[in-house]
Amino acid sequence: MGKLIQDQKMIKKADKIITFDNKYNDAKSATLAIVEKNGKKVNVLKPTFDYGRREMFAPSEYNLTEIGVIEDVESYVRQSFQKKTALMFKEGEEFGGKNTQTINYIKKRIQQIEHVSGISWRSLLRDTGYALISRANYFWVKVRKQAASGGRTIAGIQPVAAYFGMGAENVEIKKNKQGKIVKYRQKMPDGRYRDFSPKDVIHFHAYKKSGFSFGTPQIVPVKEDIRALRRIEENVELLIYQTLFPIFQYKVGTESRPASDIRLPDGSLVSEVDYVRNQIYDMPAEGGIVTPERHEIKFIGAEGKALKVREYLDYFKNRVLSGLGISGVDIGEGNTANRATADSLSRGMVDSVKDLQNIIEETINKEVIKELLIESTFRFDVLAAENIVDFKFKEIDTEEQLKKNTNAQVLYNGNIIDINETRKIAGYEPITKAQESLMFNERVEMKRMAQMSIEKSKTDKAAKSAKNSNQPTNQHGKKTGPQKSRLDAYMIDKYINNVTRMLKHDIKKHIVNEEIDRYWINTIISLGKKTILDKYTKIVEIEYEKGIKYSGLDDTSSYLVPLGLQEVKDTLNQYVEKYIKDINGKVQNAITKMTDEGKSKKEIGEEISNVIDKIKYRGDFIDNTERIRAFNYGKAIGLKLKGFSKAEIIQNSDNDDEVKYINLNSLDIFSVPPYHPNSKALVGNGVE
């Protein structure tokens, strides 16, 4: 920097400036000047370029053109760039936000820009992604024209009509003394150039060092490793060539009988060595040679002593791949790597691509979306949080996202996070009222439950009618209620048992056919709990409401009605929670024990099947009791609210004439039947 200042002072103090080497005739940008001082001509040389220099156009601090040459001749580099680009865009991208008006506006403006530029939005994004991956820099140039844009002019600045990509190899940047960018220049190889204002250029850059104008390409530290690898490969090629066609040594004579002269048929004498040499030269390619005991032929080749270069080649190749952010698996060199190993090796590439995706998202949201919103004609504040639009890439690591989704579902089922927090983890916007009616639970599950309720109600009525016609009476009259036909209906659907069987099948299949993944097993068991509760919570709610209805209660506004329903749900959740927890604990303990004993995956799978079979009877107990308990509790609360102090209990057997009662004044959920898993007792008539 000091020499540059001295050179400038020398030019200023010159008596006469004869010439500059640049067409601008500008001392600041000249690299060579001829001046006259005290009557003498002096050549003033300056550095070709000083990276700390301001107030002049400066190219990138890195040779970006060289990267283009490298990717054209280096297969590893080209594969790295292409595979990362494919990974970056394989799941697509989207615009998100809370306000559909602003989202639709941005989409419409993008379509207008595509039409004006003739370049698709996705094509421009792909060019940007590839340039960031390969060169860490890319530029968008804005074309502003009111007549070709759907935006409006703001403070005399026309709206954006189109975006065009500009490669960083041809861009130079000019800064003022304070380091602020004042101009961008695009220089063509033929010398033509064009200047752009900073407000009309968007610079996408990655890994930019402090004080630098351009980002640092990831390939910069890898170039020397690539050169070293190629030099080694060239030497290996020479080594192969030298040892592939060995030379041979023809030894003539021995110490006791050395080579001598021999007489040819024409009578002339010739050295025995020269004679053999001529014979070899004249020998056909497919011919052979016969020698006496004094002659010896010895081949000279590598003889097992050649340099072992495999380790060096592997070392430098791994350095190159590591520097490029990929692994052998990513370029098809799987070797003995299994799926788990491949996923682990590719994790680094996924993370680096997601980092660049974040850079693109941040730049577009700040430099593109924000400006397009400001140019809109909306009367509300378009930059308010509820109106802002976000550009984002969809998750490219689908397997990792599935694990996150599963974990979010478990947290949601455990009442740790709400539905919108769950959707956020899954990558979705908060649910709207319109979406609620389209969800599976509303469109399918609720309709199915309603249909089940109607069918069951018909069955109950028929059963009640038949029972009342044939049932014996006692001193209290007929035993009214749904009675035995209703109880039989309860036993038809062993839903918890079915879910347990599916869990057993899935876990056993996973253990036998895949690597044992305890996290997956824990997750699938937790999902089994959700499946049970999703169905049974609705079932017990319906049964509870039926119990209220059978009690004959008309006014259900009392706080005891919803309070009793919550008790029913809490009891069900308590039993299911303990049931699932016991299954998970016994399965995990069995896996630990069998693994420590060195058992095969098939043996472990069989043991897990036996463990689940031994505990699934408790699922039957929950099936048998909780629906009946919900009905009985609902009816008991209804009778209590009607003013009854006691309620009759209908026993298991129709032949049992003994009448038992429950005290409704000290009623709780465990004071109503069933009192044991096989009990089918129901709450009957109320007694004052």
Which is more confident, 296 or 120? 120
Residues 512 and 392 in one domain: no
- Cis before residue 674, ω within 30 degrees of 0? yes
DSSP assignment letter at 671? G
Instruction: Give dist(CA 649, CA 639) in Å, integer.
Output: 13
Helix (H, G, I), strand (E, B) or coil at 647: strand
Structural domain of residue 239, as residue ranges? 54-249+346-396
Separation of alpha carbons 164 and 243, rounded Å? 56
- pLDDT at residue 152 is higher than 60: yes
Lowest mean pLDDT among 491-500, 623-632, 679-688: 491-500
Residue 393: phi and psi, rounded to 5, are: -85, 145
Task: Please indicate, yes or no, whether residues 567 and 618 belong to a single structural domain of this protein.
Answer: yes
Tell me what percent of the chain is helix, strand and coil, each rounded to the nearest 5: 55, 15, 30
- The pLDDT confidence band at residue 458, using thresholds 50, 70 and 90, is low
Flag whether 284 is in a domain. no
Query: Is pLDDT larger for residue 144 or for residue 672?
Result: 144
Looking at the structure, tell me whether residues 551 and 642 fall in a common domain. Answer: yes
CA 258 to chain CA centroid, nearest Å: 80
561 and 636 belong to one structural domain? yes
**In 53-156, where does DSSP find H-type helix?**
64-73, 75-89, 100-117, 121-135
Q: Is 129 exposed, middle or buried (0-12, 13-18, 19+ CB in 10 A)?
A: buried
Dihedral angle of Cα 408, 411, 412, 415, to the nearest 10 degrees: -160
Q: Does pLDDT of 263 surpass 90?
A: no
Q: Is the pLDDT of residue 373 over 80?
A: yes
E-strand stretches of 534-634: none
pLDDT for the residue 195? 94
Highest mean pLDDT among 298-307, 380-389, 432-441, 673-682: 380-389
Check whether residue 369 and residue 514 sit in a common domain. Answer: no
The answer to the question of residue 578 being in a domain is yes
Confidence of residue 10 (pLDDT cuts 50, 70, 90): low
Q: Which of 28-42, 131-145, 591-605 has the lowest mean pLDDT?
A: 28-42
Strands 261-263 and 269-271: antiparallel
Question: Residue 8 pLDDT > 50, yes or no?
Answer: yes
**Is 641 or 369 the better-scoring residue by pLDDT?**
369
Looking at residue 303, what is its pLDDT? 57
Contact 458, 466 (CB under 8 A): no
Spatial separation of the C-alpha atoms in residues 341 and 347, rounded to whole Å: 10
> Which pLDDT band holds residue 553 (cuts at 50, 70, 90)?
confident
Q: Which residue has the higher pLDDT, 165 or 524?
A: 165
Question: Using CA of residue 368, residue 374, residue 380, residue 383, what is the dihedral sign?
Answer: positive
- Is 50 exceeded by the pLDDT of residue 336? no
Is the per-residue pLDDT at 488 higher than 50? no
User: What confidence score (pLDDT) does residue 481 get?
Assistant: 44
- How many Å is the Cα radius of gyration of the chain? 43
Rounded Cα gap, residues 574 and 626, in angstroms: 11
More confident residue, 617 or 199: 199
> Considering the chain, what percentage of its residues have pLDDT values greater than 70?
78
Give all strands of the β-sheet with 201-205 in edge-to-edge order: 160-166, 137-144, 201-205
Name the more confident of 683 and 466.
683
Please calculate the CA angle 623-627-633 and round it to the nearest 5 degrees: 145
Q: Is the pLDDT of residue 181 over 70?
A: yes
Q: Which of 579, 560, 528 shows the shortest CA–CA distance to 642? A: 560
Domain-located, residue 255: no
Question: Structure tokens of 506?
Answer: 């899935």
pLDDT category of residue 421 using cuts at 50, 70 and 90: confident
Tokens (6 digits) for 404: 């996150």
Record the tokens describing residue 599, joined without a space: 């058992």
pLDDT for 51: 46
Mean pLDDT of 270-299: 81
Q: For the residues 136-151, what does the mean pLDDT come to? A: 94
**Whose CA is closest to 332, among 322, 320, 347, 342?**
342
The SS3 call for residue 612 is helix
Answer yes or no: is 264 within a domain: no
Q: Are residues 120 and 155 in the same domain?
A: yes
Structure-model confidence comparison of residues 635 and 309, the more confident one: 635
Confidence of residue 406 (pLDDT cuts 50, 70, 90): confident
Phi/psi of residue 505, nearest 5 degrees: -65, -45
Let me know if residue 367 belongs to a domain: yes
Greater pLDDT, 616 or 148 = 148
Which carries the bigger pLDDT value, residue 53 or residue 420?
Answer: 420
Among residues 477, 478, 636, the alpha carbon closest in space to that of 550 is found at: 636
Considering the domain architecture, whether residues 641 and 585 belong to the same structural domain is answered as yes
Look at the chain and report how many structural domains it folds into: 4
- pLDDT at res. 370: 95
pLDDT at 588 exceeding the cut of 90: no
Most confidently predicted of 212-221, 261-270, 311-320, 431-440: 212-221
- Mean residue pLDDT of the chain comes to 79
Q: What pLDDT does 123 receive?
A: 96
Tell whether 88 and 143 lie within a shared domain. yes
| CA distances, 192 to each of 181, 189, 197, 260, 521 (Å) | 21, 7, 17, 80, 65
Among 137-141, 281-285, 344-348, 595-599, top mean pLDDT goes to 137-141
> What is residue 446's predicted lDDT score, i.e. its pLDDT?
58
Q: By C-alpha distance, which of 572, 534, 543, 535 is closest to 453?
A: 543
Q: Is a pLDDT exceeding 80 seen at residue 64?
A: yes
Q: How far apart are CA 435 and CA 173, in angstroms?
A: 50
E-strand ranges in 310-403 read 389-393
Most confident among 70-79, 360-369, 544-553 (mean pLDDT): 360-369
Q: Is the pLDDT of residue 661 over 60?
A: yes
pLDDT of residue 360: 97
Question: Does residue 254 sit within a domain?
Answer: no
Q: How confident is the model at residue 307 (pLDDT cuts 50, 70, 90)?
A: low
Do residues 401 and 391 share a domain?
no
Note whether 555 and 633 are same-domain residues.
Answer: yes
| Residues 21 and 80 both lie in one domain | no
pLDDT exceeds 90 at position 114: yes
655 pLDDT band (50/70/90 cuts)?
very low
Residue 480 has pLDDT above 50, yes or no: no
Residues 189 and 84 occupy one common structural domain:
yes
Q: What is the DSSP string of 458-496?
A: HHHHHHHHHHHHH---BTTBS--SSHHHHHHHHTT--HH
Strand 660-663, strand 40-45: pairing: unpaired
- At residue 17, does pLDDT exceed 80? no
Q: Does residue 118 have a pLDDT over 90?
A: yes
Asked if 127 and 134 count as a contact pair (C-beta separation under 8 A), the reply is no
